[in-house]
Structure 1
Amino acid sequence: MELQNKSTSLWSNFFKLSMPQIRAFHMSWFAFFLCFFAWFGIAPLMAVVRDELSLTKEQVGWSIIASVAVTVLARLAIGWLCDRFGPRLTYTWLLVLGSLPVMGIGFAHDFQTFLIFRLLIGVIGASFVITQYHTSVMFAPNVVGTANATSAGWGNLGGGVTQFVMPLVFALFVTVMGFSAAVGWRASMVVAGAICFLTGLAYYRFTQDAPDGNFKELRAAGKMPSTKKANGEFWTACRDYRVWALFVVYGACFGIELTINNIAALYFIDYFGLGLAAAGAMAASFGLMNLFARTLGGISGDKFGAKWGLRGRVTWLFIALFCEGIALMFFSQMTALAVALPALILFSLFTQMSEGATFSVVPFVNKKALGAVAGIVGAGGNAGAVAAGFLFKSSIEWPTALLILGGLVTASSFLAFAVRFDTEAEAEAKEDFVTAIKKKQLPAARPIAQPTLELESALNA
């Protein structure tokens, strides 16, 4: 049983906030943006934190690992929660509860307490799964790759924006308001957490789970499977080898992005001799590519899918990931800033296109367990970041660590070909794609269904 009335267009309806699909798109990317901003808000301030708390290189490495480690488990759980309770409630509670450790890190007074809060903050990284889930249930096959990639890309943009905004916020507290550096970085994180909390309340108010309403009402009306059946589909997804191939693939792209977000500012400080603000600006250039790069990966996935079916989507995923690995190895060997920055941007382009390409494939693996698949694959990104983190806490020089990672990414790209679809799945995907195109061409003939009486009264309340 598949949800109906998915939107067949994103860009032509972009400002139609009366459509639940468009509201979900905008709220999901914005919520993810803020989560990403808060998640890595401490990274550009690490030079200040390192000095105040007297952290060693190994302790900095452990904090990098901690920031992404718990997200592996959180993403696995959040996919199941989406299938069971819907993305609206799941996102609301994640934002509200996740904001607490973001603000709480201001109470850290030594390495141990800092590490604990950094670990807990990682839970909000599970917001990615809800973002991808919500856009997947709201948009039709002809545009789902684009919608997924754009919402995730603009959300990931928070990882770039935070690199230069948080030093500015820090400077505001220290220079303008006269706080000490120790208070300044703590107050900066309180601001980031408070905004996440308020966004959680807004998500509950302005979104719904699916085009025709919330999961609870749809299940009551017999338009969705029961929660018990959703539990069974989770284990089906766990037994699918294609899901675990995508788990590794996503670790090789999103996992690398998380790693770069954590180390970029310190990398430019330690290896290029830049100051805090300048290093933050250089690091931001990597994340800011999310403005369009991940969308480009999703659009390309949809284009390859239109021409060559699901096999085309997988082929594009391989191409993007392979180029990412080569670009990372190239960047790792740069010693002059004038060459390193363009190399970083090229590497960022392929990294984020690979992420978009991955989630242009995910919605077609198992439609009945979309949350489970998205959760497992999303967790792969963080598992990749955890594995990469051990390289940066070792005695290996960071350029060498990046070179090793580039080789591993290149090798991982071949796993994309393990994601295969049978003839029936290809035929179904083609039929759904054609149907969506017809709906897009004749919008007036297929209006969005009216909400149920219960939903209508709830919306009017």
Structure 2
Amino acid sequence: MSSTKATKLDLLNFKSLPIRTFWITSIAFFLCFFAWFGIVPFMPDVVKDLGLTPSQKWNSIILAVSGTVFARLLIGKLCDKYGPRLCYSWLLVLGAIPVIILGFVQTPLQFLICRFFIGFIGASFVITQFHTSIMFAPNIVGTANATSAGWGNLGGGANRLGMPLIAAAVVAFGAAESEAWRYSMIIAGVVCFLMGLVYYNFTQDTLDGNYKDLKASGNMPQTKKDDVGFMEAVKDYRVWILFFVYAACFGIELTVYGTMDDYLQNTFQLERVTAGNIVLSFALMNIFARTLGGFFGDLFGKLKGVRGRVLFLAAILAIEGVMLALFSTATGIVVGISLLILFSLSVQMAEGATFSVVPFVNSKAIGSISGIVGAGGNVGAFLAAILLKSKSAVAEKAAITASEGMGAEAVQAAQAAAASAAVSSGFLLIGGIVIVVAVGTLAIKFATATDNVTEEEYDEEYDTQMTTQSI
């Protein structure tokens, strides 16, 4: 087995350890996101079954992204210490437990607790980025990171199709329709557990072996030759800029898509099924959009070094903010959907571009840095959800009070209009904040030597791989 990093993303070359790792880690990530948001298609059933109030429903959304913050901060440090193989295996096995338990909850409190702990499997993103970062050469690492993350993110959209199909299957086997959502979550949890066993048995920490064996032999890989602590990553200002950048792209994507079904119905009077299918189609853009962000990050890296990656990241993030701000003012369905397409494309490209920069901040602490930056996404989702919840709750309450006594339909219409206006103003504000963060991204600086080291590392690895292939 060659210990050379892959210099291209040859997806069908299963003899290559980096490519096998890419596929396994992407599938694991997909399953984690599938289970993490698996309950979303069943929320109307859950509300009816458990008697959730509107406030409890919003709180479940907030809790689902809150737990991930802590898990991502911790998992990055653990990856640096124990390696991605053990971390991913344990995350999948332990993360499956609350997913399975969710199928047995009987009270709103139990439901909220489970949603919080299920959020921990969202830390899978950090391990995926870590594992691909140490398997691919600098010239392709951005594309590899973006593609694995994008395909993993598909799990958060594919559950809109997959979970109802699982529910239909269990009903066909004799389960009560009212209990189908419970069986579906149990099945999703079991699949995650089994994937944990697959990850343990069929992956390897690095190209040269597993951390445990390398430590025992005194042959830790180059990325671990110095013991760089978590605190050193914390002290690097560039890490925190990227933290806010990821909050402004992935965090906003989570919240926007989480509220978009209702927004499209309230603003453009779309049917629930139509609105849901539109949101699903945008989530499925992760198949290519995030990869484009990584690809252009790598392209600008070749043209202008690491600084080129930063410039592209700032530009695509600014475009995302502009598109969201413009979308918030749209009143026509054609213009609105067109702007939403551009927002979806730019926000996912910004996510890919972010992790085309991360591996170059400090190659000896990729896990810790990935964890901090990844946590930023969930902090952004948490803060955006709090903002939209507060605006919407106040506006809806005022609308209900003002239209009291006018009939149920009139009250419902007033409530929908108030919610639409409140969320629209929230989107506009968030779009402005994203633009500010984009400008702040330009403050990320790298020493000139960083570009030279990167190019030398790529040249050496490419020459070595070419020699190995010719032999």
TM-score (norm 2): 0.88
Q: Distance in 1 between matches of 2:263 and 2:145?
A: 31
1:138 partner SS: coil
Corresponding letter in the other structure for 1:419: I
- State the partner residue of 2:107: 110
- 2:252 is aligned, of 251, 256, 260, to 256
Contact 2:4 2:461 in 1 (8 A): no
- State the partner residue of 2:243: 247
- State the partner residue of 1:222: 218
* Structure 1 gaps, min length 5: 448-461
- State the partner residue of 1:418: 443
State the 1:111 CA deviation. Answer: 2.2
Q: Distance in 1 between matches of 2:239 and 2:298?
A: 20
Task: Compare 335-344 and 119-128 and name the one that shifted more.
Answer: 335-344
State the 1:100 CA deviation. Answer: 1.1
- State the partner residue of 1:9: 8
Question: Max radius of gyration: which structure?
Answer: 2
1:161 aligns with 2:162: no
In the superposition, relative to structure 1, how do residues 277 and 439 fare at CA in structure 2: closer, same or farther (>3 Å)?
Answer: farther
Q: Distance in 2 between matches of 1:444 and 1:55?
A: 60
Contact 1:43 1:263 in 2 (8 A): no
1:235 aligns with 2:234: no
Contact 1:58 1:394 in 2 (8 A): no
In the superposition, relative to structure 1, how do residues 132 and 427 fare at CA in structure 2: closer, same or farther (>3 Å)?
Answer: same
State the 1:226 CA deviation. Answer: 12
In the superposition, relative to structure 1, how do residues 265 and 424 fare at CA in structure 2: closer, same or farther (>3 Å)?
Answer: same
Q: Distance in 2 between matches of 1:60 and 1:279?
A: 19
- State the partner residue of 1:356: 352
State the 1:181 CA deviation. Answer: 4.7
2:390 partner SS: coil
Percentage identity across paired residues of the two chains: 52
In the superposition, relative to structure 1, how do residues 271 and 101 fare at CA in structure 2: closer, same or farther (>3 Å)?
Answer: farther
Task: Spell out, residue by residue over 1:117-155, the C-alpha distance to the aligned partner (whole angstroms, 9 max, x if none).
Answer: 110100000000000000011111111111101100100
1:299 aligns with 2:309: no
State the 1:437 CA deviation. Answer: 4.4
Q: Distance in 2 between matches of 1:226 and 1:363?
A: 14
In the superposition, relative to structure 1, how do residues 250 and 282 fare at CA in structure 2: closer, same or farther (>3 Å)?
Answer: same
State the 1:277 CA deviation. Answer: 4.1
Corresponding letter in the other structure for 1:385: A
1:33 aligns with 2:30: yes
Q: Distance in 2 between matches of 1:28 and 1:182?
A: 34
User: Matches of residues 30-429 of structure 1 in structure 2 within 5 Å?
Assistant: 30-174=27-171, 176-177=172-173, 179-224=175-220, 232-274=228-270, 277-396=273-392, 397-429=422-454
Corresponding letter in the other structure for 1:416: T
Q: Distance in 2 between matches of 1:380 and 1:73?
A: 10
1:127 partner SS: helix
State the 1:376 CA deviation. Answer: 0.6
Contact 2:251 2:378 in 1 (8 A): yes
Q: Distance in 2 between matches of 1:171 and 1:273?
A: 28
Q: Distance in 1 between matches of 2:177 and 2:226?
A: 49
Q: Distance in 2 between matches of 1:348 and 1:428?
A: 35
Corresponding letter in the other structure for 2:442: F
Task: Spell out, residue by residue over 1:15-54, the C-alpha distance to the aligned partner (whole angstroms, 9 max, x if none).
Answer: 2222221111000111001111111111222233233333
Contact 1:272 1:337 in 2 (8 A): yes
State the 1:419 CA deviation. Answer: 1.5
Contact 2:26 2:151 in 1 (8 A): yes
Aligned-CA RMSD value:
2.3
Q: Distance in 2 between matches of 1:121 and 1:330?
A: 34
Contact 2:225 2:364 in 1 (8 A): no
Q: Distance in 1 between matches of 2:381 and 2:207?
A: 34
Q: Distance in 2 between matches of 1:387 and 1:308?
A: 35
- State the partner residue of 1:458: none
In the superposition, relative to structure 1, how do residues 170 and 395 fare at CA in structure 2: closer, same or farther (>3 Å)?
Answer: farther
Task: Spell out, residue by residue over 1:202-221, the C-alpha distance to the aligned partner (whole angstroms, 9 max, x if none).
Answer: 11111101111111112223
In the superposition, relative to structure 1, how do residues 75 and 216 fare at CA in structure 2: closer, same or farther (>3 Å)?
Answer: same
State the 1:440 CA deviation. Answer: 5.7
Corresponding letter in the other structure for 2:382: V
State the 1:335 CA deviation. Answer: 4.1
Q: Distance in 1 between matches of 2:285 and 2:196?
A: 26
In the superposition, relative to structure 1, how do residues 231 and 427 fare at CA in structure 2: closer, same or farther (>3 Å)?
Answer: closer
In the superposition, relative to structure 1, how do residues 228 and 171 fare at CA in structure 2: closer, same or farther (>3 Å)?
Answer: closer
Q: Distance in 2 between matches of 1:267 and 1:172?
A: 31
Corresponding letter in the other structure for 1:105: L
Corresponding letter in the other structure for 2:312: W
Task: Compare 290-299 and 191-200 and name the one that shifted more.
Answer: 191-200
- State the partner residue of 1:455: none
Q: Distance in 2 between matches of 1:265 and 1:199?
A: 31
Q: Distance in 1 between matches of 2:102 and 2:303?
A: 49
Q: Distance in 2 between matches of 1:330 and 1:166?
A: 33
- State the partner residue of 2:15: 18
In the superposition, relative to structure 1, how do residues 108 and 230 fare at CA in structure 2: closer, same or farther (>3 Å)?
Answer: farther
